[in-house]
Amino acid sequence: MKLARWLLAVLVATALAGCGEKMPQLPALGPNDVVVAFGDSLTYGTGAGENESYPAVLAQLIGRNVVRSGVPGEVTAQGLGRLPEVIEEYQPKLVIVTLGGNDMLRKVSAAEIKSNLRQIIRTLKDRGIAVVLVGVPQPALITSAPEFYRELAKEFDVPYEGRVVTDVLYQRELKSDPIHPNAQGYRRIAEALAALLKRAGAI
């Protein structure tokens, strides 16, 4: 019980800490603009049906075409390698990047993860594509998204969602297994991202 209260206090404090930060603004999404959700199993929707993945739910919430470009098991280096063909195929206006969890499970260094994510964001920005970065928690009993996610978001002045995945994975009723949400958990992620896109002026 004490641990549960402590975890709740940490999550509330983290949420309050982010309230005063100014949200970087995004270009408004037209009705035909494409959003690509780019990542690993969290983006693919492992643990739920295809129509229950966060990209599918987000598409319903924002009324835009959201492509589910998630590859289970993918690490950041692999994501960096496939990014050009994804850009070429979908010509997105906005890409939501959710990567790094598999790197951490495989003990890839924080410096390498950060470097790969930096190159992913830079590749997108250099092509005039807007970016949203989603932080993924480190695998541990008491955890949060590593600080390098926030640092990258500040470096490139992109909107950052660093709490929702951690919040979902702390709640047993929102998970299908220890590291994946269920349909309800993915909906929670989609709702958080829809709210972020609204605050950032994209919708």
- Kindly indicate the confidence band of residue 21, based on its pLDDT and cuts at 50, 70 and 90: low
pLDDT over 70 (residue 19): no
The β-bridge partners of 161 are: 134
CA atoms within 13 A on the CB side of 76: 27
pLDDT over 50 (residue 63): yes
> Which one is the CATH code of 28-199: 3.40.50.1950, 3.10.310.40, 2.60.40.10, 3.40.50.1110?
3.40.50.1110
The mean pLDDT value of the chain amounts to: 91
**Which of 20-29, 39-48, 163-172 shows the lowest mean pLDDT across its residues?**
20-29
Cα–Cα distance for residue pair 203/192, rounded to 1 Å:
14
Give CA separation, 71 vs 41, 42, 43, 150, in Å.
6, 9, 8, 23
pLDDT over 70 (residue 8): no
pLDDT at 1: 43
Could you state, in order of their start, the residue ranges of all structural domains in the chain?
28-199
- Kindly indicate the confidence band of residue 10, based on its pLDDT and cuts at 50, 70 and 90: very low
- Mean pLDDT within 90-105: 98
Give CA separation, 156 vs 96, 119, 163, 171, 185, in Å.
14, 11, 19, 31, 28
Specify whether the CB–CB gap between 115 and 152 falls below 8 A: no
Looking at this protein, which amino acid is placed at residue 177? D
Per residue in 101-158, pLDDT (tens digit) is: 999 999 999 999 999 999 999 999 999 999 999 999 998 767 899 999 999 999 999 9
